[in-house]
Amino acid sequence: MRVLAAAVLSLLLASAAAQAQDQAMAERLKPCAACHGEGGHSRDEVYYPSIAGKPQGYLQQQLRNFREGRRHNTVMAELLAPLSDDYLRAIAAYYAQQPPTLAAREPVADAALLARGAKLVREGDAARQLPACSRCHGGQLAGVQPAIPSLAGLGRDYLSAQLGAWRSGVRQALAPDCMAQIARKLDEAEINALSAYIAALPVNAQTRPAEHPDGKLPLDCGSVP
């Protein structure tokens, strides 16, 4: 009986310590919350995407990309410049453990646009060596551990802007930059279609990153270990 009581007490103390650590981290991350929302749940998905529940490895890479100039945002660069890799890892771990943002989906009335987007997302275009988005980002587009991000839950304008930034070279990642290769094969109409389709997908509490890819990835990506 005493052993059981001691075990329960140990669990309670560990839980309390974890909660205190989370609260302390949330306090430190108030500058991040000003844009990305409390716990990474954004109030403005157009400019500041929700980052709650995304794979830790992906979040850490993006923080390093902003700090090291592969992604360009003055505010992010200034905030991250003095931070160590260990601190970036802690920030990424905090947001990765948060529940995903259950945002309202964006309605799209144009069935033809959605159908075109669905084909690109689910099938790709073999003739152009353009893999389906779901091949890397998972069937739910919820991402894959440890470093492939979720697309589900992102807004149409944000998705379109990021693909455009990759296509133009404004956004970059570690070589080989697989997303830049893909984005350069898409025209504006295709970017609009797949962004509309992804933004219209439902998101629920089970929309979490998969533990491993479903087979071999179609491209080599420097961001994926």
Helices (H) and strands (E) in the chain, counts: 10, 0
Alpha-helical (H) ranges within the chain are 2-28, 30-36, 56-68, 74-80, 85-96, 111-122, 133-137, 156-168, 178-183, 188-199
Q: What's the Cα-to-Cα distance from 35 to each of 40, 82, 129, rounded to whole Å?
A: 9, 19, 37
Binding-site entries for heme c = 32, 35-36, 76, 133, 136-137, 179
Question: Which of 155, 187, 132, 138 minimizes the C-alpha distance to 42?
Answer: 155
State whether residue 20 is helix, strand or coil: helix
Cite the annotated binding site by residue number. Answer: 32, 35-36, 76, 133, 136-137, 179
* Residue count of the chain: 225
Buried b (16+ CB within 10 A) or exposed e, 23-56: eeeeeebeebeebbbebbbbeebeeebbbbbbbb
In the chain, the amino acid numbered 139 is G
**N- to C-terminal Cα separation, the chain:** 47
3-state SS class at 125:
strand
Backbone angles phi, psi at 64, to 5 degrees: -70, -40
Q: Tell me if the bond preceding 131 is cis, omega within 30° of 0.
A: no
